[in-house]
Amino acid sequence: MQSIMKSECPKELEPADRRTKVHLDLMRQEDNYSEHEQRQIPFQGVGRTLCSRTDATASETVPAASLKTAPLPATGLVVDSSSPTTSIQLRLADGTRMISRFNLNHTVRDLRAFIEASRPGGARNYLLLTMGFPPKQLTDLDLTIEEAGIANSVVIQKF
């Protein structure tokens, strides 16, 4: 401020080339600077999905504590390593992503049982969709993973 009061260019604003002109506009204020009240940080709080939900599904929601982690399901689903296997990424409606290994002869019903075992007490009236355009509903529960074409793919759970 002292160099500005002397009509000199402050060292912080000096250009590398001395021939370049520096123009400085000042506004004189007698008031001391006061901090503004802190703004709220956006995108905090609870998220809501834009899908339509009925009262039946709203009452069957999963407790908030179980939404944080994806426990390993304790089902009778056994993966035989001697037969062909595949990885399927499951994107659940609560935002959890699980990657699990299945045999190609496992069915869509086994996939649903795996999801239901990983979320005990969760809603059972959901759809399974394949990732891609257009998404395909997996409605035939007796199709194998190979027949359904979901080997090494992403399956989405929607309510």
Quick one: three-class SS letters along 7-62?
CCCCHHHCCCCCCCCCCCCCCCCCCCCCCCCCCCCCCCCCCCCCCCCCHHHHHCCC
| Tens digits of residue pLDDT in 98-145 | 999 999 999 999 999 999 888 887 788 899 999 888 889 999 999 999
**pLDDT > 50? residue 5:** yes
Could you confirm whether domain 76-158 is CATH 3.10.20.90? yes
Contacts of residue 119, Cβ cutoff 8 Å, sequence gap at least 6: 62, 66, 92, 94
pLDDT score for 108: 94
Domain definitions of the chain by residue range: 76-158
